[in-house]
Structure 1
Amino acid sequence: MLPSPQWMGRPEKHGRPAVIDAILYVVRTGCPWRYLSVDFPPWQTVYAHFTRLNNRGVTEWILTELHEEVRLARGRQPEPTAGIIDSQSIKGSDTVPRDSRGYDAGKKINGRKRLIVTDTLGLLVTVWVLAASWQDRDGAKGALLATCAATPIRHVFADTGFAGRLVDWARDLLRTTVEIVREPADQRGFVVHPRRWVGERTLAWITAHRRLARDYETYPAHPRP
């Protein structure tokens, strides 16, 4: 059961608790917790509730329920059996320590890499965060393991960055098919590739939120003020 609005604090704005509005404001604008507008509750209150929601698994519960509703509305089964994996390197700020960041020579980015697995509608299933220096095919093992442990997904579409040993590893260990969607040999210019575009669109959705367009967190799984 979700916490009541009273637990999250008053007053409510537009029928939604002010704390929830404040959390969404931080994610969308990219401002530090301490710089929250005075229109919201004190930042210490907002951050404490945000941490409590995550620790209690409320955020994951909300996402799961919303995903099922969207899939059913689109005529799909509640749980996906196929997905798309993709990666994105993002710059790390000075608050990201050296031991959890790296340099992506291909993208020329110093920071962290997020590997995502989505369903075929583009809804997030798994997010796996590593130093940007990790190769896609190596970092994808953790993302695929987490996906297989939590969902019935056993067929994953990927780009050529995931080709090679990963395909055999996923087949033999996870009983999962990693299908590489390759570019046509005669391709010239930009072309939308089947399946792959879904994961790329999700990454674009993520970076539309300024808090997620750059990495500010000292610990990948522990947002801080």
Structure 2
Amino acid sequence: MRTHRYPSDVTDEQWVLIEPFIPVYPGGRPRKTDVPEVIDAILYMLRTGCQWRYLPEGFPPRSTVWRYFDERRSNGTPDRIHDSLSRKVRTGEKPHQPRTSASVDGQSVDATSGGEARGRDNAKNVDGRKRQVVVDSMGLLLAVLMTAASVDEGRAALTFFARLDG
């Protein structure tokens, strides 16, 4: 059990919301790993951007955290949690007055050679990739797209709109 808490740790109220989305596999040995601690470790990694080997002591072993992260990412657990929580926030808004606007923005970042999505953003003097996101008027994430830096937001928006529901 960890004694040090981090700002990225999941509270008990947050855990109640996400626990139903964590897969439980019947059979086998009883689980020894504390799943909320693994979630805390994953959120710590995502928030701080540190490398796996620098995961602070007190969290489960990095190989365990990585295995849980990789499995959950592969089976779509983060997407289901995100979509459910976004729906919950949106339904809490003014009834019968849905927000229907969205914003598209991109950020060009340098990237080394290689990879399929790489180009030059002449406006920002950057060779690399562009992270493009769509958020609704509440600031909730709707879609993310990685493109070559040479792709402008208008062209990326066509791809975004094809991915969005409604």
Aligned Cα root-mean-square deviation (Å): 2.7
Closer, same or farther: CA 100–91 of 1 in aligned 2, 3 Å: same
Q: CA deviation at 1:103?
A: 2.4
Cα distance in 2 between the residues matched to 1:110 and 1:64? 33
Q: What one-letter code is carried by the residue in structure 2 that aligns with 1:52?
A: E
Q: Contact between 2:135 and 2:141, CA under 8 Å: does it hold in 1? A: yes
Q: 1:55 aligns with which of 66, 74, 87?
A: 74
Cα distance in 2 between the residues matched to 1:31 and 1:131? 25
How many residues in Structure 1 have an aligned counterpart in Structure 2?
A: 142
Closer, same or farther: CA 7–142 of 1 in aligned 2, 3 Å: farther
Cα distance in 2 between the residues matched to 1:79 and 1:37? 43
Q: What secondary structure sits across from 1:99 in the alignment?
A: coil
Closer, same or farther: CA 8–74 of 1 in aligned 2, 3 Å: farther
Q: What secondary structure sits across from 1:122 in the alignment?
A: coil
Q: What secondary structure sits across from 1:37 in the alignment?
A: coil
Structure number with the bigger relative contact order (C-alpha 8 A, sep ≥ 6) is 1
Match of 1:209 in 2: none
Matched, 1:9 2:33: yes
Q: 2:47 aligns with which of 28, 41, 66?
A: 28
Matched, 1:99 2:123: no
Cα distance in 1 between the residues matched to 2:136 and 2:118? 28
Q: CA deviation at 1:98?
A: 4.6
Q: What one-letter code is carried by the residue in structure 1 that aligns with 2:156?
A: G
Cα distance in 2 between the residues matched to 1:103 and 1:131? 7
Closer, same or farther: CA 79–59 of 1 in aligned 2, 3 Å: farther
Structure 2: segments with no counterpart, 5+ residues: 1-19, 25-29
Match of 1:120 in 2: 137
Match of 1:130 in 2: 147
Identity %: 35
Matched, 1:40 2:64: no
Cα distance in 1 between the residues matched to 2:139 and 2:89? 11
Q: Contact between 1:115 and 1:143, CA under 8 Å: does it hold in 2? A: no
Closer, same or farther: CA 77–87 of 1 in aligned 2, 3 Å: farther
Q: Contact between 1:23 and 1:46, CA under 8 Å: does it hold in 2? A: yes
Please give the per-residue CA displacement for 1:130-161, whole angstroms capped at 9, x wherever unaligned: 111222222222112112xxx11xxxxxxxxx
Cα distance in 1 between the residues matched to 2:98 and 2:123? 35
Q: CA deviation at 1:122?
A: 1.0
Match of 1:90 in 2: 109
Q: What one-letter code is carried by the residue in structure 1 that aligns with 2:120?
A: Y
Cα distance in 1 between the residues matched to 2:90 and 2:158? 26
Q: CA deviation at 1:116?
A: 1.4
Match of 2:128 in 1: 111
Q: Contact between 2:100 and 2:137, CA under 8 Å: does it hold in 1? A: no
Q: Contact between 1:18 and 1:40, CA under 8 Å: does it hold in 2? A: yes
Structure 1: segments with no counterpart, 5+ residues: 153-225
Please give the per-residue CA displacement for 1:89-135, whole angstroms capped at 9, x wherever unaligned: 2333x5x7353322222122233212211111110011111111222
Match of 1:188 in 2: none
